[in-house]
Amino acid sequence: MTVLPITPPSETEPRFQKDVRGFGTRAVQAGAPHDPVTGAVIEPISLSTTFAQTSLGRPIGEYEYTRSSNPNRNNFEHAVAALENAHYALAFSSGLAAMAITLQALASGSHVISIADLYGGTHRYFTKIAHTHGIRVSFTGLIEVDVRRLLEENPDTKLVWIETPSNPTLTLVDIQAVAEVAHEYGVYVVVDNTFLSPYVQNPLDHGADVVLHSVTKYINGHSDVLMGVTAFNSAEINERMSFLQNAIGAVPSPFDCWLAHRGLKTLHLRARAANESATAIAAALQASPNVQSVNYPGLSSHPQRKIAVKQHRKGMGGGMLSFRIKGGRHAAERFCQMTKIFTLAESLGGVESLCEVPAAMTHAGIPRESREATGIFDDLIRLSVGIEDTDDLVADIVQAVDAAIELSSDETSSGSSTPSDVVELVV
């Protein structure tokens, strides 16, 4: 099995031409042709699993079997490619399926360098599954500092894996700095862009070779679709990845593609609203005496604010943030029970606002020592800010923090405590 090269042949015709129009125009128009028969401005849902042929091996159109290709999936992939400034995009049945197939594109015996602070499901795959395919993974908390040394020590490295911002501590990575070093060694760089969406950040523009999303989150934006997608500019990466997409069959349904494409059309509006509210919430939390620290790259106090200014649209912080509440895990649980607008639930990027405690939920499968080494403590709360009114969201967060601290103090002074009802499950 060959390893994916970084640079595509210049003579290869790309699948999608890059679109130079504004983001909102691309979001609404890309991959959205009018129906040639009825003139419908919204594409129909093509549920057929197979397509007629006029003779042996001669389909009427470009489609033969829906696992291999489908009109709704093709149009959705076109739209994502347009938003990520890519020539190619491939949709998968989930974000983890997109990640797994990206890893399976590597030759057995390959080595991967990954950031240490990353989504619990990705960590689970890297530590418990990747080795069954002959893939070794090394983790680092300072990838810009360590990447050259790790490449020197591991000449079989084929991939560098980045989340920026990371989940859930919102740590940033300078994509260009890492990519320049990785490319010196013929290693390609994958960036999980789920936390920001294509509206806030386009990793390919900063040197990444592949950008990955859990479409379930911001791209779809309505908490009703499970899907993943990758985008890139290399024809040879596309050849290998599209082969695996079809051969493994981890593809989304036409209906899910249709829903996700519909959601994508308002991404720029939703992302702007979430960013505005998250910025206001982060400022309110930073001013609260009941909060230890706030992780949000939109704040001037964020230690990597310069990277956000460099990589994010207009220096936006995005719609995700996390903070450590005073009072420990008990206060964090209480906070999630006291919110009135924020719902205690996993996932992120939907129109509705969510809160969770990563150490007991999305990242519970990571050993405590490893979690805390990356800043994921029991008192860390992650917020996914939706598109409700900013003033209502800020007020809900402030009252929940104050109520959680007050209740925790009352129970501590009375000597009573409530057992944790949080289910420790990584999804």
Which residues have a catalytic role annotated?
A: 67, 119, 192, 217
For residue 141, the tally of other CB atoms under 10 A from its CB is 14
| Separation of alpha carbons 279 and 45, rounded Å | 38
Largest Cα span, the chain:
81
Element (DSSP H or E) covering residue 307: helix 305-311
The residue with tokens 């606002």 is 353
Q: Taking a C-beta distance cutoff of 8 angstroms, is the pair 137, 155 a contact?
A: no
User: For the chain, what is the total number of helices (H) and then of strands (E)?
Assistant: 14, 14
β-pairing verdict for 210-214 and 188-192: parallel
Backbone φ/ψ region at 39: left (φ over 0), alpha (ψ -120 to 50), beta = left
Burial of 1 (0-12, 13-18, 19+ CB in 10 A): exposed
| Separation of alpha carbons 311 and 179, rounded Å | 14
For residue 45, the tally of other CB atoms under 10 A from its CB is 15
* 394: nearest Cα among 293, 311, 288: 288
How far, CA to CA in Å, does 107 sit from each of 1, 126, 133, 244, 301? Answer: 5, 15, 9, 13, 42
How far, CA to CA in Å, does 331 sit from each of 57, 292, 412, 422? Answer: 64, 12, 11, 13
Stated length of the chain: 427
Give the DSSP per-residue string, 266-285: THHHHHHHHHHHHHHHHHHH
Residue 397: phi and psi, rounded to 5, are -65, -45
Residue 201: phi and psi, rounded to 5, are -145, 140
- Contacts for 170 with CB less than 8 Å, ≥ 6 apart: 195, 295, 296, 297, 302, 320, 321, 322
